[in-house]
Amino acid sequence: MIEHLIPILAGTLGAAVPLIFAGLGELVAERTGVINLGVEGMMLVGAIAGFAAAAESGYGVTAGLPAGALAGAATAMIFGFFALSLAANQAACGLALTIFGIGLSAFIGQHYVAYSLPGLKPIAIPLLSDIPLLGPILFKQDWVVYLSFLAFAGIAWTLAKTRLGLLLKAIGESPESAHAIGYPVISIRFGAVAFGGAMAGIAGAYLSTVYTPLWVQNMSAGRGWIAVALVVFASWKPARLMLGAYLFGAVTILQFHAQGLGIMVPVQFLAALPYVATIVVLVVISRDRRVLQNNLPASLGKPFLP
Amino acid sequence: MHLLEPRPHPSRVMRWTAPLIAVAATLLTGSFLFWTLGKPVLTSFHVFFIQPLETGYGWSELLIKACPLILIAQGLAIGFKARIYNIGAEGQLIVGALFGGGVAITTEGMDAAWIVPAMVVAGAIGGALWGAIPALLRTRFNASETLTTLMLSYVASLILAYMVNGPWRDPEGMNFPQSIMFGDSALFSILLEGSRVNTSLFITLAAVLLFWIFNAKSFMHFQIEVGGLAPAASHYAGFSAKQTVWFCLVMSGLTAGIAGVGEIAGPVGQLNLNISPGYGFAAIIVAYLGRLHALGIVLAGFLMALIYLGGEAAQVSLQMPYAITGIFQGMLLFFLLGSDVFIDNRIRRLV
């Protein structure tokens, strides 16, 4: 059992990375009152852009992640134009972005189906990685995993302790008041949406250049939607989002270890676990309306025209 | 100051011209896309939107693709009016196909007239059940149907993958993930000699009529519409919000399930992993493009079918990836949502 436990827990951290980046990005956008259901599409565009950049430049992941971030932010701007500048229905615009992103990424990805990338080697942090049990789990990971810790810390701190965080939350609670005081609500929301797109793009690029590392059409397989559900599960709090992402990382990684653990279930049933878990988690969190109501950004999903 | 300001009254003209503007904008952006890809714009245009309709066979293929889209969109439109966003029709289609396919596989070798009707009923039940789960989760636990319906789509496609890889795999299918090819008694009969158009066409036709009457005459529809437009008024009038949720999700699941049977007992002829090229998602666009109106949906369904055919033609004649279909679908929905803004708003006059 214990010989399985360390690889499972260590793998969980990697499997959670796409959910952490995509989820944190969506969390920031939703805190400003914008719900972008296009995470899946932005992730896929980020995945192919990252993969293409990594393959063509020869710099691998170092080029792939920034390219994914840029591509994710750029596709988020399309959403921004329709949902923010024109104040169209946000949920439907997000859906359009997902359909568009699936198509666009498959279109570009046509040229990259046969490629494979080297991926990333884990970096063992001196001393810390020697701690029994915790060391190999936490401190023998690739650098993007460490980056995900930093992203969490940065976002949690910004939201809780800085003026910027306060402003973002204020806009999410009452765009009218923020506008009346003189803040450019639409521009700030644009910024938050672009940030969300960049984070989703990084999540996608991690999948295609590190986690898999291959380009496969539709490879995010619903992770973007799971990230959206995680934000609800987290009741818009970064720390709970991390918890949720690791929970889902564990569920995802379990299917690769099931046979070793002696679980004889068809692969498709194991592959369905994350989706079923998402439903269960949504049910659990939504059951108590007060928890949702108390944390829900008051203007979430409502179009705003100054 | 923002460029837009609210109109004193919503514009009726814009409500019906918005889809046309969206289509025009999609074509324009599409041409730009062809141009940037270095394809001759006019030729590409011809291949994508005209060539599929130059032959009688092309029109019959258009009909085959339009039917499931129209059928699913009719069911979805009812829910969208009540602001119940079922975006998992793809999964309901798959479960419908599984139920219908189960009938076809267990009656293999039998020759009876009731097999196809039984498949349709089974498909309707399957789709309705898959729609009932999110309805239960929404009414009992307040869980957002948008996410649960979509998650259930992924689950449905994995169940399908399990069935055609496992219990229902064709023993003589060279290990391909597919069921046996259905016999004639488990297939809709061909209507037009030399084409794939079959009697499932009548189901879609009947559905359009039924939904048209339902939308115009029924009290349930009134209740649904009030619930969507003014939830508080609906509550005050004593309409049951839960009943609406159940009705909309079960009804849209049911139509999607029947559409699934239409595919496996029609052009596909078996259960495999490609029983639907994303009809469940495209039907969402069809419903909105058709203004959630039974007849508008018919027109929109044909347009969406043309985009599918155009994508196939572009793949053959222009060596373009089939994924271009998804790009066009996404653009169409974006432009439609953008034009819809001008129903309630207008551009601010600067003087």
- Residue-wise pLDDT for B84-119, tens only, equals 999 999 999 999 999 999 999 999 888 889 999 999
**Top-confidence residue, B127 or B174:** B127
Which residues of B fall within a CB distance of 8 Å from A102? 323, 326, 330
Interface contact flag, B137 A282, Cβ < 8 Å: yes
Output the CA–CA distances (angstroms, integers) from residue A175 to A164, A237, B234, in the order listed: 15, 20, 28
Tokens of B280: 């469940």
Domain-located, residue A286? yes
Joined tokens for residue A183: 């803040």
- A266: in domain: yes
Neighbours of A126 (CB within 10 A): 8
pLDDT at B344 over 60: yes
A140 beta partners: A124
Least confident stretch, A20-34, A223-237, B63-77, B307-321: B307-321
Q: Tell me how far apart the alpha carbons of residues B60 and A47 are, in angstroms, rounded to a whole number.
A: 38
- Give pLDDT tens digits for A142-173: 899 999 999 999 999 999 999 999 999 999 99
The CATH number linked to A212 is 1.10.3470
pLDDT of B343: 87
pLDDT at A1: 61
The pLDDT-based confidence of A84 (bands split at 50, 70, 90) is: very high
How much is the pLDDT for A52?
94
A262 pLDDT more than 80:
no
Model confidence at B161: pLDDT above 90: yes
Least confident range from A106-120, B168-182, B272-286: namely A106-120
Average pLDDT over residues B233-243: 84
CA A282 to centroid of chain Cα atoms? 17
| Residue among B33, B86, B155 with most chain A CBs within 10 A, to mutate | B155
- Number of domains forming the structure of chain A: 1
Q: Which of A268, A290, A302 to mutate to test the interface with B (most CBs of B within 10 A)?
A: A268
Percent of chain A with pLDDT over 90: 62
Q: What would the mean pLDDT of B11-24 be, rounded to a whole number?
A: 88
A260 domain residue, yes or no:
yes
Lowest mean pLDDT among A111-115, A194-198, A202-206, B205-209: A111-115
Chain B CB contacts of A232 below 8 Å: 144, 147
Contact A304/B at CB under 8 A: no
What is the arithmetic mean of pLDDT over B36-51? 87
Q: Which of A161, A188, A162, A147 is nearest to A299 (CA)?
A: A188
Higher pLDDT, A131 or A204: A204
* Phi and psi at residue B235, to the nearest 5°: -65, -45
Question: Across the interface, do B162 and A269 touch by the CB < 8 Å criterion?
Answer: yes
Measure the CA–CA gap between B323 and B312, rounded to whole angstroms: 9
Which band of pLDDT confidence, cut at 50, 70 and 90, is reported for residue A256?
Answer: confident
**Residue A302: inside a domain:** no
Structure confidence at residue B208 as a pLDDT band (50, 70, 90)? very high
Rounded to the nearest angstrom, the minimum Cα separation between B238 and chain A is 22
Quote the mean pLDDT of chain B.
Answer: 91
The answer to whether B326 contacts A221, with C-beta atoms less than 8 Å apart, is: no
Answer whether residue A305 is part of any domain: no
A210 pLDDT above the threshold of 70: yes
Instruction: State the Cα–Cα distance between residues A278 and B134, nearest whole angstrom.
Output: 13
| Residue-wise burial string across A242-270, b where 16 or more C-beta atoms lie within 10 A, e elsewhere | bebbbbbbbbbbbbeebeeeeeeeeebbb
Residue B247 banded pLDDT, cuts 50, 70, 90: very high
Answer whether residue A254 is part of any domain.
Answer: yes
**Per-residue pLDDT tens digits for A68-83:** 999 999 999 999 999 9
Closest chain A C-alpha to B147 CA, distance in angstroms: 7
Judge whether residue A244 has pLDDT over 90: yes
Strands A123-124, B4-6: pairing is unpaired
> Per the CB < 8 Å rule, is B327 touching A97?
no
Residue A86's alpha-carbon distances to B41, B81, B339, in angstroms, are 29, 22, 9
> A125-148: per-residue pLDDT in tens?
888 888 887 878 887 888 999 999
- With 90 as the cut, is the pLDDT of residue A103 above it? yes
Distance of CA B91 to the CA centre of its chain: 11
Contact B4 A86 (CB under 8 A): yes
Would you state the pLDDT for residue A30? 96
- Dump the DSSP string for B167-188: TT--TTSTT-SB-PPPPGGGSP
CA distance B35 to B44: 9
For residue B234, name the pLDDT band (cuts at 50, 70, 90).
confident
pLDDT score of B324 = 87
- The answer to whether residue A78 sits within a structural domain is yes
A270 touches chain B (CB under 8 A): no
B320 and B107 Cβ atoms separated by less than 8 Å: no
Nearest to A92 among B4, B158, B337 (CB): B337
- Supply φ then ψ for residue B345, to 5 degrees: -130, 160
Q: Quote the pLDDT of residue A248.
A: 92
Report the candidate in B138, B151, B130, B143 with the shortest Cα–Cα distance to residue B244. B138
Give the pLDDT of residue B350: 65
Return the SS3 of B110: coil
Mean pLDDT of chain A: 90
Q: Is position A235 within any domain?
A: yes
- pLDDT (0 to 100) of residue B104: 95
Comparing CA positions, the residue from B250, B253, B255, B260 lying closest to residue B101 is: B260
A140: containing domain:
2-295
* Mean pLDDT to the nearest integer, A99-107: 94
Chain A residues near residue B147 by CB distance under 8 angstroms = 225, 228-229, 232, 278-279, 282
Q: How many CB pairs under 8 A join A and B?
A: 145
pLDDT of residue A114: 77
Total residue count of chain A as it appears in this document: 306
Interface contact flag, A107 B331, Cβ < 8 Å? no
Q: Average pLDDT in the A199-221 region? A: 93
Beta strands per DSSP E along chain B: 4-6, 345-347
pLDDT for position A110? 87
**Res. B124: pLDDT tops 70:** yes
Q: What are phi and psi of B4, to 5 degrees?
A: -105, 150
